[in-house]
Structures are given as C-alpha cells and as structure tokens.
C-alpha cells in the first residue's frame, strides 16, 4: 500500500482497529441499510461484493450505507481512513457518490448539478454527468459546499478503481484534514489525485475548519454508496468497503 505526501508517523502507526466488508451476508438494517426506487435492486454479487442496479425509470436510484455511524476522531493521535473498490457497468448518465454522509436517502444527488444538500454533512467522491463523470471531491458542512474540487480521474466503464479517504485531526485549529487517493487500476497502489487542469505534483489535502464551517457531528456519519441514473439501466458494483483507525501513541 503506497502512501503519498503522508507523514512518517502515519505510515508507521499500527492499525488498531479495522473492519472489512465483502457483503457475503447482506441483510438490510443489520450491519448495512439499503433502499431502492422503482425498479432498482441491491443484492449480493455472485462472488462477493454488492451490486446496485437501476432500470430505465427516470431518476431511478439505489443506495446502501452503514447502519451505525462512524466517527473520524477528534484527537491528533488518531487517523481514520475509508477504503473500497467500485465499478460502473457503463459511464453514461448514472451519477454516484461514495463516502460519508449524515443522511443517505432519496434524491441525495441532484439530477444535473453537483449536490449541496439542504441540511447535513457530506464528504467523499462524486461522479456526475455535469462533470463528464470526472471525479470530484466534495465536502459539505451544514448545507455549505466548503470544498468542491474537480479531480484528474475518470473511471473506466466495467473496470474497478480503488479509493481511500484519510482523515487526520489537526489540533492547531481543530480542523479535520481529508486526503483523497485513488488507484485507477483497482489495486492498492494509491496515487496522488491531482486537481483537474493543474500541473501540481503534490497530493491535495483539504482542510475543513470547524471554526468556519462547523465540526463533523459528534454522533458520526454513515459510510456508503448512492447511485442514480437518468434514462438507462445501469449497475454499480461495490466490491468491498473497509475502515480503519491508526493510533500514533
């Protein structure tokens, strides 16, 4: 597993708690909660993973998320990270979100524009037709889009890509630093995600200061995937989902 622009302390810190989900036993309202719109399905894949499908019904949607809330942490001695692997059957009109949200539900993604929920929190990757399905990192705090950065990555239809979201608490201003990483080949060789149109070689880190936007909710956020199509049948495979905590001392 490759770490880019990451402190030596983080790389050496042991994983003190880790959970990996392959969705072999998928029961709603147990570890995971899922729901669909008209014609949508959420089901376990043939060899593991979970497959979300939508039919040709306009704005059909499907989503799955952790029943329990996850808390990134509020101490500089702890790092919290999300990882996973996903693929879409076709990259045409279907939008998707992967990451943390205070609420997963109907119409979570707007039809044509990057989302800004009316209330709540959102942090992760979003892929939309308005961006030609180029990845966008978005961070929403209390309905304000504090960060909305288009990234230099477009998934390939029918191929897995892996992602990682690393959250580290900054004791200087009580902000949470989220660093997004992607392996476009679906492995564990995570690469820098450059801002689209930028020649920067550094790994972008996004700072979300609670002094300006409000802290992450103390109750935590749900981790999940939301999938919505506009006019054609699609399938999204979430091969696995994982989260881990690293403790520095």
Sorted by where each starts, the structural domains of the chain and their CATH numbers stand as 8-247 (2.60.120.200)
Token pair belonging to 90: 């076709």
Q: What is the structure's pLDDT at 244?
A: 85
Cα separation, 185 vs 143, whole angstroms? 33
State the chain's mean pLDDT as an integer: 78
pLDDT, average across residues 214-237: 80
What's this model's pTM, rounded to 2 decimal places? 0.85
Q: Are 101 and 66 in contact (CB under 8 A)?
A: no
Q: How far is CA 158 from CA 17, 23, 86, 117, 246, in A?
A: 32, 20, 10, 29, 33
Q: Residue 64's pLDDT band (boundaries 50, 70, 90)?
A: very high
Higher-pLDDT residue of 219 and 248 is: 219
pLDDT tens sequence across 92-147? 677 889 999 888 988 877 655 555 555 678 889 988 877 888 898 888 776 666 67
Token pair belonging to 142: 């209390």
Q: What is the structure's pLDDT at 63?
A: 92
Question: What region does 5 belong to: left with phi over 0, alpha with psi -120 to 50, or beta?
Answer: left
Cα separation, 38 vs 128, whole angstroms? 21
Cα separation, 207 vs 120, whole angstroms? 18
- What's the gap between Cα 132 and its chain centre? 18
> ∠ CA 91-40-234 to the nearest 5 degrees?
15
pLDDT, average across residues 80-90: 86
pLDDT, average across residues 63-79: 77
């Amino acid at each position: 597993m490759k770490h880019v622009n990451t402190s030596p302390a983080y790389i050496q810190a042991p994983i003190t708690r880790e959970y990996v989900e392959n969705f072999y036993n998928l029961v709603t309202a147990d570890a995971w909660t899922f729901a669909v719109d008209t014609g949508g399905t959420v089901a376990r894949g043939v060899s593991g993973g979970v497959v979300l499908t939508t039919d040709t019904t306009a704005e059909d949607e499907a989503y799955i998320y952790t029943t329990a809330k996850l808390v990134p942490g509020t101490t500089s001695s702890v790092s919290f990270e999300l990882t996973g692997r996903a693929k879409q059957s076709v990259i045409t009109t279907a939008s998707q979100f992967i990451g943390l949200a205070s609420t997963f539900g109907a119409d979570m993604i707007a039809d044509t524009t990057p989302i800004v929920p009316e209330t709540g929190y959102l942090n992760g990757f979003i892929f939309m037709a308005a961006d030609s399905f180029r990845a966008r990192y978005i961070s929403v705090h209390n309905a304000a889009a504090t960060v909305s950065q288009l990234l230099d990555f477009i998934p390939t239809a029918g191929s897995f890509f892996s992602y990682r979201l690393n959250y580290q608490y900054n004791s200087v201003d009580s902000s949470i630093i989220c660093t997004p990483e992607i392996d476009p080949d679906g492995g564990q060789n995570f690469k820098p995600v450059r801002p689209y149109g930028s020649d920067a070689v550094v790994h972008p880190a996004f700072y979300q200061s609670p002094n300006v936007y409000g802290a992450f909710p103390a109750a935590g956020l749900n981790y999940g995937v939301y999938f919505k199509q506009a006019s054609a049948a699609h399938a999204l495979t979430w091969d696995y989902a994982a989260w881990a905590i690293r403790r520095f001392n």
